[in-house]
């Protein structure tokens, strides 16, 4: 039987391999320990809430000197893509650290969470014109505007074609069950109305967006105009959610109605954009009528005139003492504007033009 003994070179390679593995393990453990301390410091808000960028960088240098080489090992591990790669704060630029430091714990709103990332992305701290803090993340100060309450509320498009009549009859048929279900509970009625009214702009904007990509052509601004309409309707909903909380079965109804209406409107828009826009125009006419009834009950004292929600005051630039009546007036003005835009879009199609051939009314919202 032959017995093979390990050679001298094999034993040397084995020893070197063991030394390499032990060294690599030590580097990884030091890097992971260094990263854990940074993560703990960030999550406890010591890094972002109380210190600026220069202080953080100075502390990191002092910490590295005190470890007698551990900091250098950790830095080397980060450069080599070691354990600290998934979450690195010290590797961020001073500018990014400065942005993060400005985000204090006092700026966090109720229900808002702060997330730190090695990408260096941090929300900017915004203030109003008077210097007070801007507390809304769903819209920005430059999105606020003053509604044109002088707009004509009585305009009505008389149906001239079969498509116009189909659109009008469809909207009338949709209003009957709404009147029966909500009656004069206008807060919940507005909630239902806005969940439906916010769908057409998003659907039409998405269809035009995809068409623009497929055909390599401009949209004439209509993508932006329609998406602005959808966002404005969504802000109406967020406002009335501050005034009236829907019951569980009303929420369930919203889910069902929105699901059906979304697919129905998408099919209608793909088949005939002029009918789809005409239908939205008539839907907005009904919205103007509903908000007029809402305002009439508020002025008659049948509904309590509560103060305007803070989100409405900032979004429409209302005075500090605004009430629910002021909110209903500006919302009604928005609906009248959407009425005119959609009837205008339908007329463009009826005249044989594409929307991209006519400039869209951008900049109202």
List, for residues 310-334, the tens digit of each pLDDT value: 999 999 999 999 999 999 999 999 9
What was the pLDDT predicted at 296?
Answer: 93
- Other beta carbons within 10 angstroms of residue 132's beta carbon come to 8
Query: 114-123, 151-160, 276-285: lowest mean pLDDT where?
Result: 114-123
Task: Show the tokens assigned to 148.
Answer: 């044109």
Residue 162 has φ and ψ, to the nearest 5°, of -65, -40
| Backbone φ, ψ for residue 286 (5° rounding) | -65, -35
What is the C-alpha separation between 122 and 343, in angstroms, rounded?
A: 42
Q: Which tokens is 91 given?
A: 């590797």
Output the pLDDT for position 84.
35
* pLDDT higher than threshold 90 for residue 287: yes
- What's the pLDDT score for residue 25? 57
Averaged pLDDT of the chain: 76
Please say whether the beta carbons of 77 and 30 come within 8 A: yes
Q: What's residue 182's pLDDT?
A: 77
**For range 189-201, the mean pLDDT:** 89
- pLDDT: is 207 or 136 the higher one? 207
pLDDT confidence band for 90 (50 / 70 / 90) = very low
pLDDT at position 293 is: 92
Tokens of 300: 């008659």
CB atoms within 10 A of CB 325: 15
Distance of CA 121 to the CA centre of its chain: 17
pLDDT per residue over 5-14, tens digit each? 444 444 445 5
pLDDT in tens, 36-59: 544 444 444 433 333 444 454 455
Residue bearing tokens 């400039």: 359
Query: Quick check: 15 pLDDT over 80?
Result: no
CA dihedral 310, 314, 320, 325 (to 10 degrees): -70
Q: Does residue 125 register a pLDDT over 60?
A: yes
Question: What span, in angstroms and rounded, lies between the C-alpha atoms of 117 and 100?
Answer: 10
The rounded Cα 143 to chain-centroid distance in angstroms is 12
Identify the CATH homologous superfamily for domain 162-357.
Alternative oxidase (1.20.1260.140)
> 174 or 63, which is more confident?
174
Residue, of 180 and 196, whose pLDDT is higher: 196
Instruction: Check residues 63 and 290 and name the one with the higher pLDDT.
Output: 290
- Helices of type H across the chain: 8-43, 46-49, 53-66, 70-79, 94-102, 162-182, 186-215, 222-241, 248-271, 273-299, 310-315, 324-350
CA-to-CA separations, 139 to 126, 165, 236, in angstroms, rounded: 11, 38, 13
Is pLDDT at 221 greater than 50 in this prediction?
yes
How far is it between the farthest Cα atoms of the chain?
Answer: 112
The pLDDT confidence band at residue 112, using thresholds 50, 70 and 90, is low
CATH 1.20.1260.140, the chain: domain bounds: 162-357
Distance CA 354, CA 365 (A): 23
**What does the pLDDT read at residue 353?**
94
Give exposure, 89-103, as e/b (b: 16+ Cβ within 10 Å). Answer: bbebeeebbebbbeb
- What integer is the mean pLDDT of 108-136? 72
Higher pLDDT, 175 or 23: 175
Q: What are phi and psi of 272, to 5 degrees?
A: -155, 95
Higher local confidence (pLDDT), 37 or 214: 214
* Higher pLDDT among residues 145 and 247, named by residue: 145
Cβ–Cβ < 8 Å for 137, 123: yes
Given a cut of 60, whether residue 252 has pLDDT beyond it is yes
Give the whole-angstrom CA distance, residue 239 versus residue 255.
19
Conformational region of residue 317, where left means phi above 0, alpha means psi within -120 to 50, and beta covers everything else: left
CA distances for 57 relative to 38, 54, 77, 98, 225, angstroms:
12, 5, 18, 11, 46
Say how far apart CA 325 and CA 294 lie, in whole Å: 9
| pLDDT for position 249 | 85
In what helix (H) or strand (E) does residue 247 lie, and over which residues does it extend? none
The answer on pLDDT for 30 being more than 60 is: no
**Closest of 118, 116, 122 to residue 84, by C-alpha:** 118
């Amino acid at each position: 039987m032959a017995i093979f003994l390990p050679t001298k070179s094999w034993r040397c390679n084995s020893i070197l391999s063991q030394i390499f593995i032990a060294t690599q393990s030590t580097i990884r453990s030091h890097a992971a320990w260094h990263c854990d301390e940074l993560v703990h410091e960030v999550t406890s808000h010591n890094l972002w809430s109380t210190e600026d960028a220069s202080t953080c960088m100075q502390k990191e240098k002092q910490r590295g000197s005190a470890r007698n080489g551990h900091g250098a090992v950790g830095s080397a591990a980060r450069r080599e893509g070691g354990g600290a790669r998934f979450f690195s704060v010290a590797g961020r630029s001073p500018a990014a650290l400065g942005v993060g430091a400005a985000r204090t714990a006092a700026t966090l709103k109720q229900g808002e969470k702060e997330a730190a990332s090695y990408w260096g992305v941090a929300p900017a701290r915004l203030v109003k014109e008077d210097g007070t803090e801007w507390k809304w993340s769903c819209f920005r100060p430059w999105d606020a505007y003053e509604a044109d309450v002088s707009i004509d509320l009585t305009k009505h498009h008389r149906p001239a074609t079969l498509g116009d009549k189909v659109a009008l009859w469809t909207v009338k048929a949709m209003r009957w069950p709404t009147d029966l279900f909500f009656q004069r509970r206008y807060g919940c009625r507005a909630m239902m109305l806005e969940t439906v009214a916010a769908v057409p702009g998003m659907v039409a904007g998405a269809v035009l967006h995809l068409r623009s990509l497929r055909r390599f052509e401009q949209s004439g601004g209509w993508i932006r105009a329609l998406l602005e309409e959808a966002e404005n309707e969504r802000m109406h909903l967020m406002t009335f959610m501050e005034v009236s909380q829907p019951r569980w079965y009303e929420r369930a109804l919203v889910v069902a109605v929105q699901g059906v209406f979304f697919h129905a409107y998408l099919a209608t828009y793909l088949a005939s954009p002029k009918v789809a826009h005409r239908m939205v125009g008539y839907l907005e006419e009904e919205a103007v009528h509903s908000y007029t009834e809402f305002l009439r009950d508020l002025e008659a004292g049948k509904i309590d005139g509560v103060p305007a929600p803070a989100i409405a005051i900032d979004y429409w630039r209302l005075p500090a003492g605004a009430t629910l009546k002021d909110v209903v007036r500006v919302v009604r003005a928005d609906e009248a504007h959407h009425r005119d835009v959609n009837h205008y879009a339908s007329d463009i199609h009826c005249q044989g033009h594409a929307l991209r051939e006519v400039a869209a009314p951008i900049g109202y919202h």
